[in-house]
Structure 1
Amino acid sequence: MNRLQGKTALVTAAAAGMGRAAALAFAREGAKVIATDVNEKLLAEISGTPNITTRPLDVLSDAAVTAFVNDVGAVDILFNCAGWVHHGTILECEPKDWDRSFNLNVRSMYTVIRAMLPKMIAKGGGVILNMASVLGGEKAAPNRLAYAASKAAVAGFTRALAADHVKQNIRVNCVCPGTVDTPSLGDRINAFADPAQARKDFIARQPMGRLATAEEIAETFVYLVSDESSFMTGQAVFVDGGMSL
């Protein structure tokens, strides 16, 4: 279990869900992981895990990101996992909801990458992985307007970034998961009048007839940040249980 031995990885939104699964999987594979999140209480739950150092970080604060990156220095792997799902059509999407969707789902990536990229280039290269989604990539779903628009932006951002920096030994890819059984999804399900039916509806849109686990999606993360994918860049990788078919 040493596919990432000798690598340093920075993971945002590492306190729960896919970010947490990624941090644990990277650490298992030998990487020295800097796991960050705004939720320090949840983040503390993985503190003490071998190969993991936890640090608070608000990716919506330009000043905090700049100070953080200057403090930790260059990493070999950067996984931008922070995100938010807005529920509603355009008529239910207030300007503040639209702005939050793009600020957390897209601008935070821009901010962290813009701060870290020069350090990665100076070190000789590295891998950037961004969290996208099957929604906004190949599939539409009701009540996901702002989310889908922001995740489509992530896919375009990823391709453009890859094209700009391929000659500097920087690889950039994004992952487009289907519906994953995370605490975030649980919160959204519990917000429905009938949570049991809501869960059935989420499962029904997955052709495999089940939700993904964060841990199985994390195996794709490991592949994409490891040397096994060394000839891949600018790709949107779908791990969606057939949802985009």
Structure 2
Amino acid sequence: MTQTSDLPRGGEFRGLVAAVTGGASGIGLATARELAARGAEVCVLDLNADAAPAGLHGFTCDVTDRASVQTAFAAIDQRFGRLDVLVNNAGIGAQGTVEDNDDAEWARVLDVNVTGMARAAAAALPLLRKGVAARAGDASATAAIVNTCSIAATAGLPQRALYSASKGAVLGLTRAMAADHIREGVRVNCVNPGTVDTPWVGRLLDAAADPAAERAALNARQPTGRLVSAEEVAAAVCYLAGPYAGATTGTDLAVDGGMQGLRLRPAEPADGAE
């Protein structure tokens, strides 16, 4: 049996196949690159699969279309014959209170952020079981699904009613999937990022009346005083997906600069300050 201590740090995914939905930008792209750097063959599933960097395998995939999802995973099966890691990352944002989004927008966001994850997982599970079977001689080997959740699932954020509802559903879905599939050797966890410096957040800032003030407010909302980087989230995803987390399932890992768990007192003024 391979012990995790025998695996080289930085190469723990060597020989494994990973798929990342929404892997052509933001957190998904950072995760795809990190998985590849650690030895995985990485499949980028995205509406814009052509944007996958050299060395990664792009597959066109629309998570709102079951046929598109099934076609993408069938192509992975044909190419690699298995899957070891699924990162369910594709998602979209939404702003506003419950008064601000109509039924069509609720349906659109939930379809991508929640049902889209279920579609991808359902199509991936037969391949993940193949991945487990391929390592049947290693009793500690598991396949992994990591869902991208959010601080919005665990903290009440203003102007994020629809988005928070979708990510709360992802948190519940993660735990239910973990219970359903652990005896098949498939672990399911999620990451809960805080505000991440991604192109989507950049577009929100650009649209603000005062982008600099809005960025300062987002920085101040996190105890570290800065936005989370996509690479920090990617590292957490890789931990949950990899062999060093072989005893971890049904867990949500916050990568939020302390936003969820810390309650800091106001900063003391510097000496001499009024």
* TM band (smaller chain): over 0.9
Provide the C-alpha distance between the structure 2 equivalents of 1:14 and 1:72, rounded to a whole number of angstroms.
15
After TM superposition, the score normalised by the length of structure 1 is: 0.94
Provide the C-alpha distance between the structure 2 equivalents of 1:123 and 1:240, rounded to a whole number of angstroms.
32
Which structure: larger Rg?
Answer: 2
Aligned partner of 2:99 in structure 1 is 91
Deviation per CA, 1:29-81: give whole Å up to 9, x if none: 0000001211245x24x1x23xx112221111111111121221231000010
RMSD (Å), alpha carbons = 1.2
Gaps of 5+ in 2: 1-9, 133-141, 262-274
Deviation per CA, 1:71-106: give whole Å up to 9, x if none: 212310000101111010011011122112211111
Deviation per CA, 1:155-213: give whole Å up to 9, x if none: 10000010011111010000001111011110111121221111111112111100111
Alignment of 1:154-169 (within 5 A): 154-169=170-185
Provide the C-alpha distance between the structure 2 equivalents of 1:123 and 1:209, rounded to a whole number of angstroms.
41
SS in 2 for 1:78: strand
Gaps of 5+ in 1: none
Provide the C-alpha distance between the structure 2 equivalents of 1:35 and 1:70, rounded to a whole number of angstroms.
14
Alignment of 1:194-205 (within 5 A): 194-205=210-221
Q: Quick one: which amino acid aligns to residue 28 of structure 2?
A: G
Aligned partner of 1:144 in structure 2 is 160
Equivalent residue for 1:215, pick from 226, 231, 239? 231
Q: Does 2:129 match 1:121?
A: yes
Matched residue pairs, number?
A: 239
Q: Quick one: which amino acid aligns to residue 61 of structure 1?
A: D
Aligned partner of 1:64 in structure 2 is 68
Aligned partner of 2:23 in structure 1 is 14
Provide the C-alpha distance between the structure 1 equivalents of 2:111 and 2:252, rounded to a whole number of angstroms.
21
Deviation per CA, 1:200-242: give whole Å up to 9, x if none: 1111211110011111211111111110000000001111111
After TM superposition, the score normalised by the length of structure 2 is: 0.84
After superposition, the Cα gap between the structure-2 partners of 1:61 and 1:145, relative to the gap in structure 1 and judged at 3 Å, is same
Q: Does 2:39 match 1:30?
A: yes
SS in 1 for 2:187: strand
Provide the C-alpha distance between the structure 2 equivalents of 1:167 and 1:40, rounded to a whole number of angstroms.
33
Provide the C-alpha distance between the structure 2 equivalents of 1:112 and 1:222, rounded to a whole number of angstroms.
19
Provide the C-alpha distance between the structure 1 equivalents of 2:87 and 2:159, rounded to a whole number of angstroms.
27
Identity of aligned residues (%): 39
